[in-house]
Structure 1
Amino acid sequence: MAAVAQNVVNSDDQFTKNCNSPTQNSETDTNKSSDSKSEFQKNINELADILSKLNPWAKEFIPSSFRLKNDQSVQNNFSKRRNTFNQGRRRMNGRSFRAQREESIRRTVYVSDIDQHVTEERLAALFSSCGQVVDCRICGDPHSVLRFAFVEFADEHGARAALSLGGTMLGYYPVRVLPSKTAILPVNPTFLPRSEDEREMCARTVYCTNIDKKVSQLDVKNFFESACGEVSRLRLLGDNVHSTRIAFVEFDIAESAIMALNCSGMILGTQPIRVSPSKTPVRPRLPRPASN
């Protein structure tokens, strides 16, 4: 663009000189004047064409104060739209979760007065006549007839049909069946048994809760070995949020795990522990990769 402008200036100067020179005859002056004007107009047109192609919103044409204000405005508008989108997505996720939970509750029944010798498999078999059972959880002290359970069906029809089984004798006691007010908390599927060997490991494993935080892993192992038998693997877990800890205890034989269920209510440290069959095996910890 600078070269074109310089050509325009040079052509203008040459045109002026030719027009003012007294030594040239009129015909020559006229021709040269015409040529100079034509060249000058051509350069002007080229300059106008170049300028027309420039972007008037390029940085070098916009004052920095205006550009800063405009950039902030664009950024603020983008942030508002992003926040609005995220809030809407969270609301949708919350509504979706509540809807799924309510639908799961409608498919679940609450069963109480369960005989301490009744297993989850036996309870699920009783209700399988009403529909497909997708989950069954027995809770409570295994020594007490006040044990209760939640049974979830594949659809609401199964749950409504299950209400008719109230009063059915199961073991030594008639069970009570009512609509559930809560859904069954799902087990993380990655923790469930993946093979026949892991299912056999579950039969030898118990889940222990309400463990005193001052109790060590060695204390837990010694407690169960003295009362039930040899412990092959133990995982003691806890965090800073909960006041107690939990443990998965795997025994050498399944009979020891059955005996461990009788330890519910016994004091370990300062707390009465709760013991129930484990739905997940205690997998060996993978070695950590060596740091470079």
Structure 2
Amino acid sequence: MAAVAEISVDAAAANKLDSKSKSESEFNVQKLVDMFTKLNPLAKEFIPSSYSHHDHLHQGYHQLPPTNFLGTAADSDHQNNRRRRTNYSQGRRRSNGRVHKGQREDSIRRTVYVSDIDQHVTEERLAALFCTCGQVIDCRICGDPHSVLRFAFVEFADEQGARAALNLGGTVLGYYPVRVLPSKTAILPVNPTFLPRSEDEREMCSRTVYCTNIDKKISQAEVKNFFETACGEVTRLRLLGDHAHSTRIAFVEFAMAESAIVALNCSGMPLGSQPIRVSPSKTPVRPRIPHPTPH
């Protein structure tokens, strides 16, 4: 019996302790509620730093745009705008790529490949042959001028001209019959800003040659000395190239047009460790415009 009474007393004490803890917990929760209700929701510490004090403080806490786990709403809007701009740019690039591809394919259909060209045949003479088929808008002869293995690309204004040009295969031009086939590539256009703008510049082109495959160790003075020794006086020379390319190129302008013709025979001759390639230039070597010096 004493043991039962003892257990009853302990249970009563435990119940009393639980009810006391519960009341203290309720008091603490109520105390927190009272504290939060006294806080000012427009206080500076409740407003994200990305919002202007003057623009947003007067709007009230509940009118501020909600935040997310990536940051403030302004950050989210910025990310969305940037994503839209990126998607637009990518779409525009894809569209431009399709346009350029279509233009290139159209140019290929209007171009023929001509091979077995006599070394004495000029671009003007070759273009004159194909003018009977349609309007020729570009003609490029490539290859070693000392060899019959030269080839050319002839581009017409329309596909009908290119199809008609295929019938000229076997025509003797110079000493050899030329072969004419559909082209698999388009002619790389010359930047129109580089083309001659006047009769004087066209005359400059007749005195200028385009030289490629120049050894990178060769200096401009050495290139000039090479052509002056073999061909005649050089009045202007522009040597171009950078570390991204294995060889360099040059535009060489002579005092006399006859010197430029002689220079074409230098194609295949070694200059340094490389055999150079020389062809007529389609662009003049314009004098450089000096930049104004700051005072």
Please, what TM-score do these two structures have when normalized by structure 1?
Answer: 0.79
Aligned to 2:109: 106
**Does 1:119 find its partner at 2:122?**
yes
1:272 aligns with 2:275: yes
Match of 2:16 in 1: none
Is there any run of 5+ residues in structure 1 with no aligned partner, and where? 1-57
- Residues in 2 aligned to 1:84 and 1:233: alpha-carbon distance in whole angstroms: 49
What is the one-letter code of the residue matched to 2:128? A
* CA-CA distance at 1:65 after TM superposition: 9.0
Residue in structure 2 matched with residue 14 of structure 1 by the alignment:
none
Q: Which amino acid aligns with 1:277?
A: P
For residues 95-152 of structure 1, the C-alpha deviation after alignment (integer angstroms, 9 at most, x for no partner) is: 1110000000000000000000000000000000000000000000000001000000
2:199 is matched with: 196
Letter of the aligned partner of 2:167 in structure 1? S
Aligned-residue offset at 1:176: 0.2
Please identify runs of 4+ aligned residues in structure 1 that moved more than 2 A: 62-68
Q: Which amino acid aligns with 1:59?
A: H
1:79 and 2:82 aligned:
yes
Tell me which of 176, 179, 182 is aligned to 2:182: 179
Cα RMSD after superposing both structures: 1.5
Which of the residues 37, 55, 59 maps onto 2:56? 59
Structure 2, unaligned stretches of length 5 or more? 1-54
Q: Indicate which of 145, 149, 152 corresponds to 1:149.
A: 152
Structure 1 window deviating more from structure 2 (280-289 vs 173-182): it is 280-289
Displacement of 1:73 in angstroms is 1.6
Provide the residue aligned with 1:168 in structure 2.
171
CA distance in 2, matches of 1:62, 1:228: 85
Deviation at 1:252, TM superposition (A): 0.5
Match of 1:27 in 2: none
- Alpha-carbon distance in 2 for matches of 1:79, 1:194: 44
Matched, 1:262 2:259: no
**1:290 Cα deviation after fit:** 1.4
Secondary structure at the aligned position of 1:263 is classed as: coil
> Could you report, residue by residue, the CA deviation over 1:2-55 in whole angstroms, capped at 9, with x for unpaired residues?
xxxxxxxxxxxxxxxxxxxxxxxxxxxxxxxxxxxxxxxxxxxxxxxxxxxxxx
Tell me what 1:222 maps to: 225
Amino acid at match of 1:155: D
TM-score if structure 2 supplies the norm length?
0.78
Q: SS of the counterpart of 2:72? A: helix
Task: Give the % identical residues.
Answer: 77
Distance 2:220 2:81 in 1: 53
Q: What is the number of equivalent residue pairs in this alignment?
A: 236
